[in-house]
Structure 1
């Protein structure tokens, strides 16, 4: 599934894909984007600290990952949805819409 195209098909004007945490400018993310889809691992590195930063700024986000231990996410990030791989495009779009306040919570 092409997540970038999926986002554009559902109205996203700018979509940025990062394959490594070093590609991400936290300040730019907080001011330039409306929502984020966060994989739990980027380039072999956990993104939990990055996600905690998103939460501190109030940025709506969801986790989308093949990570199998959802308990850690539920404990550390209550209310943040984890969409597990393999997921459908509809599941991901619904989760992002709910996080952004434009859809029903899942």
Structure 2
């Protein structure tokens, strides 16, 4: 699935794809991102601390990953949706819309 195109098709004006956490300036999170789709691992690095930073800054997000430990996520992120791969584009759009407090486009 072309995640960038999927996001643009549903109204995202700017999409940033990061393959490593080092590519993201965490100081600029609230001003740079309206929402995020977070894989649990980037490279061989856990993104849980990054996700906690998103939550602390009020940036809505969902987890979308092939790696999962649902028990750990439920205890640390009880209100954050986890989409496990393979997931559909529609499921992703519905989840991110819900995280943003919106209804997915019809």
TM class, shorter-length = over 0.9
Where does residue 63 of structure 2 map in the other structure? 63
What SS does the aligned partner of 2:68 have? coil
Structure 1 unpaired stretches of 5+:
none
Where does residue 54 of structure 2 map in the other structure? 54
Cα displacement string for residues 29-84 of structure 1 (whole angstroms, at most 9, x for unaligned residues)? 22122100000000110000000000101110000001232111111001100011
Where does residue 85 of structure 1 map in the other structure? 85
- How far, CA to CA, are the matches of 1:95 and 1:34 in structure 2? 14
Q: Please say if residues 40 and 68 of structure 2, whose CA atoms lie closer than 8 Å, have aligned partners that are also in contact.
A: no
Structure 2 unpaired stretches of 5+:
none
Number of aligned residue pairs: 104
With the length of structure 2 as denominator, give the TM-score of the two structures.
0.94
With the length of structure 1 as denominator, give the TM-score of the two structures.
0.94
Q: CA RMSD in A?
A: 1.1
Deviating above 6 A after TM superposition, structure 1's stretches of 4 or more consecutive aligned residues are: none
Q: Are positions 1:9 and 2:5 aligned together?
A: no
Where does residue 24 of structure 2 map in the other structure? 24
